[in-house]
Amino acid sequence: MTIEADASGGLSIVASLNGLSKAIDGWCARMDREAQHRQQAADAFRQATFPINVNGALSAGAATVNTTSHGPPQGYYWSIRRFTCQGFTAGTVTFYVDNTNGEGIMPFPAAAVNTIGKGELLMHPMQRLAFTATGITGTPIAWVTVDIFETWLLPWYIGAQRGQA
């Protein structure tokens, strides 16, 4: 911006719109990046439900299964949101992460549906569910409902990052 005075006492202000135009362009580019990031995050997230055939592993009402096909692949996290186990009238089914020698993450002393808060039960890439079943009477089947998301999305998912572009 320039200010000019002439001999007659008049004052003239000349403002350049270039600076304002650059600021608006930068703001528009930031808005575009934000929209692109939000779309990328939406595309990298989904929810799915998987059945787990507990009954297929039972022998005399008991089983120990340390490897199942249920778990996040490389590059993804699972946040378990709902765990259901039903179809049995006696016994206990307990789920673990990776192997049955550790802490049980979801015991079922009776048929039940358990809901879990977002991010409270995370499974890391390549981890697997394992389970034990003892004293089972009936035909148990389990389902796990998970939020599946790419690993780069973890800070956003747990609320540590607010969708910055």
Domain at 150, CATH number: 2.60.120.340
Alpha-carbon span 28 to 89, nearest angstrom: 61
List pLDDT tens digits, range 43-94: 778 899 988 888 888 888 888 888 777 899 999 999 999 999 999 989 999 9
At 25, the pLDDT band (50, 70, 90 cuts) reads confident
Bigger pLDDT: 32 vs 158: 158
Percent of the chain with pLDDT over 90: 38
pLDDT of res. 78: 94
Q: What number is the average pLDDT over the span 23-30?
A: 81
Shared domain for 111 and 77, answered yes or no, is yes
pLDDT of res. 46: 87
Residue 100 belongs to what domain range?
46-157
Shared domain for 36 and 116, answered yes or no, is no
Count up the domains in the chain and report the number: 2
pLDDT of res. 80: 95
Shared domain for 38 and 60, answered yes or no, is no
The CA R_g of the chain, rounded to the nearest whole Å, is 28
Shared domain for 36 and 56, answered yes or no, is no
Shared domain for 53 and 106, answered yes or no, is yes
Per-residue b/e over 125-153, b at no fewer than 16 CB within 10 Å?
eeebbbbbbeebeeebbbebbbbbbbeeb
Shared domain for 50 and 130, answered yes or no, is yes
Q: Is residue 73 part of a domain?
A: yes
Bigger pLDDT: 113 vs 25: 113
Alpha-carbon span 74 to 76, nearest angstrom: 6
At 164, the pLDDT band (50, 70, 90 cuts) reads very low
Q: What number is the average pLDDT over the span 152-156?
A: 89
SS3 71: coil
Candidate from 35-39, 85-89, 139-143 with smallest mean pLDDT: 35-39
Shared domain for 121 and 67, answered yes or no, is yes
Q: Residues near 106 by Cβ (< 8 Å), separated by ≥ 6?
A: 80, 83, 94, 95, 114, 121
pLDDT of res. 165: 41
User: Which of these, 88, 129, 83, 128, lies nearest to 109 by C-alpha position?
Assistant: 88
